[in-house]
Structure 1
């Protein structure tokens, strides 16, 4: 058996992350399968490329030299394939307000890799869109009830703020404690919201909930004074509405942002976007 492209891709992913677990997630394979692929490569080359024990993974001296050459070889193959192929845009689903600057960085990095463009698809039900095959990847906030066949990779966290009507009597310069939410009717988006009755176990939260079915209904219900809500701090930067205000929250749990996909069709394309998304998330976290 000769060295194959899959051997090189597997080695490069482990070398970049210095983790078999993380690399396996990115490649959509099991960790044992990835370990076997790396061992095959080392046996073919008759050299040890990685030092690994139960706690850490590192490159050997030979592995460091091989990394540079393998990276060039895989890059050359990818460029050759891209030169004769008309790529189909990756369909990226989102419910509302893509995280900034992560989304812009991830899309730019994906397109820089030469896989093609990214088409943005707004939907209230991203999981259903994934299962139907309408989209390739979906951005999720605080995902719930995700089927086993959908893979979810956490990327980053966002802070939350209180959103209320300007007539609510809540001052925007007076932070509200998370526990203080029980003193107000609470408006939640049952379809794509991140905070709702499920956020408080054993009824330890607001006593009155107002259910809405999408982002616009949720926003206008709050503007109409039906109650308060909680949303990513990003909304305070990008939502302009004369009848609402945003107020800092104290001790609120952060909101997780993940990407999800269904392994199968177009796996190489999805893998490239996962790589770009992960790199962008690391940059966002470091800022």
Structure 2
């Protein structure tokens, strides 16, 4: 029989890995215990059992905040992969190996394509693409597991967001409008615009400016299609990420350079304590971050 502390994997169970990864993510035994629905002493004992079985220290409890040791940081990567693979295997056996990615319009390419392909290859799970006018609402109703967001609109707890990268903004207007004849727009002139806003999932709206600094006239629409047709009809101008210029083909609109505009962030929103496959979700976030860091988010010509 192997004695504890010899560095073998004897006696290590999935509950040990789940306990450790929860503490590592939250950097808190209290919040991790709340997520796992167990008491804090029970969680502490479970993590201690894991450290004893491995013969190493994974967490530094010497400060007010729990921190990973170097060994703990390395072990966390493998622990999350193990949990993700296990959940994918169980889900596959139950025909449930699917993660649903919600979006409102224009998934960024090639980032989305490469992220999905790598995630599916690494886990054996499948990503379903779910279009919703309001992906955050779909997330709250458990209609999707992750929501892709564009723009700087605030996201309230308990949702969390992960920043991927930033996109440049361009202006779009009716092709036969006076704005189109100007050839370009200046961000500093926003107060003079009539801005068409997609209130459900738009990237640019009143929330983009400090109070009182934005456009004085707004035309509100409820989804992407209404927004595009309102711009085409000459109701006002729209502001979108530059990817739209390569992906939207509408005969009645024209895209214009926009000088001085701040970048538009691309984020993923998720509920960390919801759903039956938290490790699979975490694995998708890891892959998404890695692909974004590799600079593969720019649109291909």
TM-score by length of 2: 0.73
Secondary structure of 1:140's match?
strand
Going from structure 1 to structure 2, the CA distance change for 1:222 and 1:173 (only over 3 Å counts) comes to same
Q: Output one character per residue of 1:13-62: Cα deviation in whole Å (capped at 9) or x when no partner.
A: 99xxxxx5xx549xxx95799996776544432335689999x97746x9
Task: Determine which of 93, 96, 107 is the counterpart of 2:102.
Answer: 93
Kept after mapping to 1: 8 A contact 2:196/2:220: yes
**Structure 1 counterpart of 2:292:** 281
**Structure 2 counterpart of 1:200:** 209
Task: Determine which of 224, 239, 244 is the counterpart of 1:235.
Answer: 244
Kept after mapping to 1: 8 A contact 2:151/2:203: yes
C-alpha displacement of 1:282: 1.7
Task: Determine which of 123, 148, 157 is the counterpart of 2:166.
Answer: 157
Task: Determine which of 264, 271, 283 is the counterpart of 1:272.
Answer: 283
C-alpha displacement of 1:115: 3.8
Between 68-77 and 123-132, report the one with greater CA deviation: 68-77
Task: Determine which of 218, 221, 224 is the counterpart of 1:209.
Answer: 218
**Structure 1 counterpart of 2:8:** none
C-alpha displacement of 1:236: 0.4
Rounded to whole Å, the distance in 2 between the matches of 1:274 and 1:69 is 15
Rounded to whole Å, the distance in 2 between the matches of 1:132 and 1:68 is 30
Q: Output one character per residue of 1:201-260: Cα deviation in whole Å (capped at 9) or x when no partner.
A: 232222221111111111111111111110011100100111111112122111111112
Going from structure 1 to structure 2, the CA distance change for 1:195 and 1:33 (only over 3 Å counts) comes to same
Rounded to whole Å, the distance in 1 between the matches of 2:78 and 2:194 is 61
Q: Output one character per residue of 1:141-198: Cα deviation in whole Å (capped at 9) or x when no partner.
A: 2364544222222222111111111122345894422112333311111221121122
Going from structure 1 to structure 2, the CA distance change for 1:196 and 1:73 (only over 3 Å counts) comes to closer
Matches within 5 A, 1:112-261: 112-142=121-151, 144=153, 146-170=155-179, 174-261=183-270
Q: Output one character per residue of 1:111-152: Cα deviation in whole Å (capped at 9) or x when no partner.
A: 112342111111112222122211111111236454422222
Kept after mapping to 2: 8 A contact 1:179/1:205: no
TM-score by length of 1: 0.76
Gaps of 5+ in 1: 15-19
